[in-house]
Amino acid sequence: MISNSDIERILDRADIVDVVGQFVQLQRAGVRYKACCPFHSEDTPSFMVDQARGLWYCFGACKEGGNVIKFVQKINNMNFPEACHWLADKYGIDIEDKNEKKSPDELKAIRKRESMFAINSYAADFFISNLDKPEADAARAKIKQRWGEQYPQEQGIGYALPSWSSFADAALKAGYSTELMVECGLIRQRKEGGYYDFYRDRIMIPIRDRFRNIIGWTARDMSEVEGTPKYLNSCQSEIYDKSDSIFGIDNAIRQAAKEEKFYCVEGAPDVMRLQSLGINNTIASLGAAWTKKQFYQLKKYATSICFLPDADAVKPGEQYGTGIAAVIKSGQLAMECGFSVSVKEIPVGDGNTKNDPDSYCTNRTRFKDLEEVDFITWYAGYAFKADGTTEDKSSAVTKIAQMVAMVGDDVKEQMYLEQLKKIYNHGKL
């Protein structure tokens, strides 16, 4: 059995263009590479390699893709461990099979996780195949309108039919364990016996881990029935933990390592918008707030975090909207975890309406043009607002002093103090 840390080292080192290029003639096509697909016969290239995301995908007959390990499995006709060893040899990475060191309980837990990944993978194929059905007309149009043609295919976005048990029926017939499907949150037991689908009439967006395993779903409602939650996320399970799962991490790592930075946004739709614009190092926490567990995972790849808060309508009597309040908290936590932190703030919509990265960043220029401000200076701008009370201001001074101390660089500290003095006295720089 190959450990996760060994798989991570392989994924970090093995360059997908380098590996695929060994088997097929790749041509540059914008930010990607294309070729005639090695897995089906074609004259016009529909096989794409995205170096920044570490992904390949065939938009032709195969409609299949994955990371570099999956490519090696397919092209060399190898199983997963064989492909890992092949890549480890190629890149001179030492990996060891630790099978014999695992206790029976550990092996059982690993097998359970693998079975759950297999169920989610089967579900993904099922939801994708639903898109060809007439019931999916509205969902298909919505997906295309929101994210274009290629991104949804690469990400394996599908659709759960409105019927009560189409998935449960198919999956039971295919022999998957009901107990594990319930734990994955895909089906539920009926009181009178039998099972029904948890997700109905929803666009199914897979949540993946670092290794591209599907660990859960975020599902967007298509019924528009009043009282139905717009997004429904997977329940907590053996493979999905809200407090340490990070949406978009599978696509984000390479670019984050290159730019030394992650962009943190509030929700999955924001990640999908920015990633579909090629800003791949965008991620979201699917719980309410970011946690230390999540930030520590990011530290391996980048030293900076830039937050894009939702611009919520500010209610009368409030200092700032909920999106800003959330980033004030998360920004401090990220600093405690040792990141250098900045903020790109989105303007509130016309007539004091909500805006978020999904609604605002309709193209790359709109994202690029957002000014990136240092977190401490940004926070001080809010905390020292001219209309704030003296108490507000003095409690903010304590907080800011703590943050400046965290920076741990004398020159920077001096710079901060100069700036903060100005903001304190004039409400701005």
If one counts every other C-beta atom within 10 angstroms of the C-beta of residue 428, the result is: 11
Phi, psi angles (nearest 5°) of residue 292: -60, -40
Contact of 420 with 429, CB cutoff 8 Å: no
Measure the CA–CA gap between 311 and 346, rounded to whole angstroms: 6
Candidates 52, 55, 58, 131; binder of Zn ion (CB under 5 A) is 58
Query: Which span (37-45, 262-270, 317-325, 377-385) binds Zn ion, by CB under 5 A?
Result: 37-45
Cβ at position 365, least distance to Zn ion in Å = 34
Both structure tokens of 198: 């948890």
63 interacts with Zn ion by CB under 5 A = no
Cβ at position 73, least distance to Zn ion in Å = 15
Phi, psi angles (nearest 5°) of residue 286: -90, -10
Candidates 7, 48, 54, 60; binder of Zn ion (CB under 5 A) is 60
Which of 35, 403 has the CB closer to Zn ion? 35
Cβ at position 43, least distance to Zn ion in Å = 12
Which of 46, 177 has the CB closer to Zn ion? 46
Measure the CA–CA gap between 238 and 114, rounded to whole angstroms: 11
Residues in the chain: 429
Query: Which span (34-42, 202-210, 270-278, 396-404) binds Zn ion, by CB under 5 A?
Result: 34-42
Cβ at position 36, least distance to Zn ion in Å = 9
Measure the CA–CA gap between 127 and 167, rounded to whole angstroms: 8
37 interacts with Zn ion by CB under 5 A = yes
Looking at residues 206 to 235 of the shown chain, list those that interact with Zn ion (rule: CB under 5 A).
none
Which of 40, 428 has the CB closer to Zn ion? 40
39 interacts with Zn ion by CB under 5 A = yes
Cβ at position 75, least distance to Zn ion in Å = 12
Cβ at position 98, least distance to Zn ion in Å = 35
Which residues are CB-neighbours of 399 under 8 A, at least 6 positions away?
332, 379, 383
Query: Which span (14-22, 33-41, 377-385, 419-427) binds Zn ion, by CB under 5 A?
Result: 33-41
Which of 42, 169 has the CB closer to Zn ion? 42
Cβ at position 78, least distance to Zn ion in Å = 18
**Residue in 281, 284, 272 with CA at minimum distance from that of residue 152:** 272
Cβ at position 58, least distance to Zn ion in Å = 3
Which of 46, 165 has the CB closer to Zn ion? 46
Encoded amino acid at 418, one letter? E
Measure the CA–CA gap between 55 and 45, rounded to whole angstroms: 16
Measure the CA–CA gap between 206 and 60, rounded to whole angstroms: 22
Place of tokens 């994924």: 11
Cβ at position 64, least distance to Zn ion in Å = 7
Which of 34, 53 has the CB closer to Zn ion? 34
Which of 154, 183 has the CB closer to Zn ion? 154
Cβ at position 25, least distance to Zn ion in Å = 15
Measure the CA–CA gap between 352 and 313, rounded to whole angstroms: 5
Measure the CA–CA gap between 157 and 201, rounded to whole angstroms: 14
Which of 63, 146 has the CB closer to Zn ion? 63
Which of 56, 247 has the CB closer to Zn ion? 56
Query: Which span (51-59, 153-161, 232-240, 277-285) binds Zn ion, by CB under 5 A?
Result: 51-59
62 interacts with Zn ion by CB under 5 A = yes
102 interacts with Zn ion by CB under 5 A = no
Strand partners, 265: 284
Contact of 343 with 376, CB cutoff 8 Å: no
Both structure tokens of 81: 């461990």
Query: Which span (31-39, 89-97, 188-196, 221-229) binds Zn ion, by CB under 5 A?
Result: 31-39
Contact of 202 with 219, CB cutoff 8 Å: yes
Half-sphere exposure at residue 399, Cβ-oriented, CA atoms within 13 angstroms:
20
Which of 58, 396 has the CB closer to Zn ion? 58
Cβ at position 129, least distance to Zn ion in Å = 17
Candidates 3, 29, 40, 352; binder of Zn ion (CB under 5 A) is 40
Measure the CA–CA gap between 295 and 271, rounded to whole angstroms: 17
What separation, in Å, do the N-terminal and C-terminal C-alpha atoms of the chain show? 56
Q: Residues in contact with Zn ion, total (CB under 5 A)?
A: 6
Both structure tokens of 187: 């089906």
Which of 40, 188 has the CB closer to Zn ion? 40
Measure the CA–CA gap between 248 and 205, rounded to whole angstroms: 11
Interface positions with Zn ion (CB under 5 A) = 37, 39-40, 58, 60, 62
